[in-house]
């Protein structure tokens, strides 16, 4: 069983043999955070506390397994909101102790990558992985399945964070990714040429804060803030959404292309919440058709936060004998 509480989804899943999902439950807190246009850590921790027991009970019921049937308990221990992580980690430790099961300490970013192996059973290292989410935009080299080496990361906002902030500028609501995707539908993505920040010629790092400011200035002029938003026509709003989305997608695709060229590898794996974006998925597949590499992207529900990826990585850790002790601690920071 996997347990995930690193941000604003309380999730549990039961996976068999590291391959099959027996049940997956995701209790989203979107409704609670919407009025703040972002995740409020204190609100998130309290909601996890209320939901964790019902979510675990529900997943066991749906999977039709008893606690004694479980082989181990996997839980996300880092990175994330510390108050949120502590709820899942304390709960998982309690279950491991109570039921006498091994505890597996899962890194959330590695779990996102593991979702690619889970959905594409024939995928194998070496490969380049892009994790593109609300908190991270990072490229990794994987020579070993569970040992990602960082190639590049964002120097400011994560891509998902930029989606959320631009959606907030446009008044499209929270979470911003799906709202931008929806608003952009049917609009010309090249009508407004927002900047593509590629940093140095060989750089594998990312920067998304400039494009966010460019959207703000484009919409409301140099001296405006998102607070004194004027209303845009529906057509202009759609073009801004489409232009922004296209610029972010261009950057993400170009950085993947660079990483593959620089490492000489021929396999790319992409996951994290932003990998649920249809335009990004389409552009990655089209690019892979032209380039000498292939791309693996999990189905959308395995890209956004879920516990299947946690259980799947847990299975891999168990197979390798990498069992945690009850002393394991939650950590807000990524360790790579």
- Interface residues with Zn ion (CB under 5 A)? 133, 305
Smallest gap, in angstroms, from Cβ of residue 272 to ligand KG4? 4
CA atoms of 141 and 260, how far apart (whole Å): 9
- Cβ(286)–Cβ(278) under 8 Å? no
Using a CB cutoff of 8 Å and minimum separation of 24, what contacts does 120-128 make?
120/269, 120/296, 120/298, 121/19, 123/267, 123/269, 123/296, 124/267, 126/263, 126/265, 126/267, 127/265, 127/267, 127/268, 127/269, 128/256, 128/259, 128/260, 128/263, 128/265, 128/267, 128/268, 128/269
In the list ligand KG4, Zn ion, none, the entry touching 274 (Cβ below 5 to 8 angstroms by class) is ligand KG4
Q: Residue 57: which H helix or E strand, with range?
A: helix 41-63
Phi-psi domain of 203 (left: phi exceeds 0; alpha: psi -120 through 50; beta: other): beta
- CB 133 to Zn ion: min, Å: 4
Smallest gap, in angstroms, from Cβ of residue 281 to ligand KG4?
9
Q: Shortest Cβ distance from residue 108 to ligand KG4 (Å)? A: 6
Residues that bind ligand KG4 (rule: CB under 6 A) add up to a total of 20
Cβ distance to ligand KG4 smaller for residue 70 or 154? 154
Compose the 108-147 pattern: x for residues touching ligand KG4 by CB under 6 A, - for all others: -------------------------xxx------------
Q: Of 160 and 189, which CB lies nearer to ligand KG4 in the complex structure?
A: 160
**Residue nearer to ligand KG4 on the CB measure, 33 or 101:** 33
- Residue 52 or 214 with smaller CB distance to Zn ion: 52
Among 44, 59, 170, 274, binds ligand KG4 (CB under 6 A): 274
Among residues 83, 102, 125, 160, which is the contact residue for ligand KG4, using CB under 6 A?
160
- Scanning 57-65, 98-106, 170-178, 192-200 for contacts with ligand KG4 by CB under 6 A, the matching segment is 170-178
22/78 Cα distance (integer angstroms): 25
CA angle 86, 158, 291 (to 5 degrees): 120
**Which tokens sit at 224?**
């405006």
Q: Sheet harboring 103-107: ordered strands across?
A: 20-28, 9-16, 2-4, 73-78, 103-107
3-state SS assignment for residue 292: coil
- Which positions from 175 through 204 interact with ligand KG4, judged by CB under 6 A? 175-178, 181
Instruction: Choose between 135 and 152: whose C-beta lies nearer to Zn ion.
Output: 135
Residue 88 contacts which entry, ligand KG4, Zn ion, none (Cβ below 5-8 A, type-dependent): none
Tell me which residues touch ligand KG4 (CB under 6 A): 7, 133-135, 160-161, 163-164, 175-178, 181, 272-274, 276-277, 304-305
């Amino acid at each position: 069983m996997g347990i995930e509480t690193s941000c604003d989804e309380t999730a549990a899943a039961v996976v068999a043999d590291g391959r099959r999902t027996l049940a997956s439950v995701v209790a989203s807190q979107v409704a609670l955070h919407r009025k703040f246009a972002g995740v409020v850590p204190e609100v998130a921790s309290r909601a996890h506390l209320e939901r964790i027991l019902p979510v675990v009970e529900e997943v066991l019921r749906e999977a039709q397994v008893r606690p004694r049937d479980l082989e181990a308990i996997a839980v996300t221990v880092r990175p994330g909101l510390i108050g949120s992580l502590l709820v899942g980690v304390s709960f998982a430790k309690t279950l491991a102790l109570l039921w006498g099961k091994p505890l597996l300490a899962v890194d959330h970013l590695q779990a996102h990558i593991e979702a690619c192996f889970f959905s594409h059973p024939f995928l194998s290292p070496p490969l380049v992985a892009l994790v593109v989410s609300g908190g991270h935009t990072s490229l990794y080299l994987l020579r070993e399945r569970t040992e990602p080496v960082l190639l590049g990361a964002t120097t400011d906002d994560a891509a998902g964070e930029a989606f959320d902030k631009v959606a907030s500028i446009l008044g499209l609501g929270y979470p911003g990714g799906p709202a931008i995707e929806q608003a952009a539908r049917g609009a010309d993505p090249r009508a407004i040429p927002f900047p593509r920040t590629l940093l140095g010629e060989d750089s594998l790092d990312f920067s998304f804060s400039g494009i966010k400011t460019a959207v703000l200035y484009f919409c409301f002029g140099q001296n405006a803030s998102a607070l004194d938003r004027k209303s845009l026509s529906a057509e202009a709003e759609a073009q801004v959404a489409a232009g922004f989305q296209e610029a972010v997608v261009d950057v993400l695709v170009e950085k993947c292309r660079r990483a593959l060229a620089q490492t000489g590898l021929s396999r790319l794996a992409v996951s994290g919440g932003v990998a649920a974006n249809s335009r990004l998925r389409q552009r990655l597949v089209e690019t892979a058709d032209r380039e000498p590499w292939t791309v693996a992207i999990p189905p959308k529900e395995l890209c956004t936060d879920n516990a299947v990826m946690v259980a799947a990585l847990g299975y891999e850790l168990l197979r390798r004998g990498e069992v945690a002790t009850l002393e394991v601690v939650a950590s807000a920071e990524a360790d790579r």
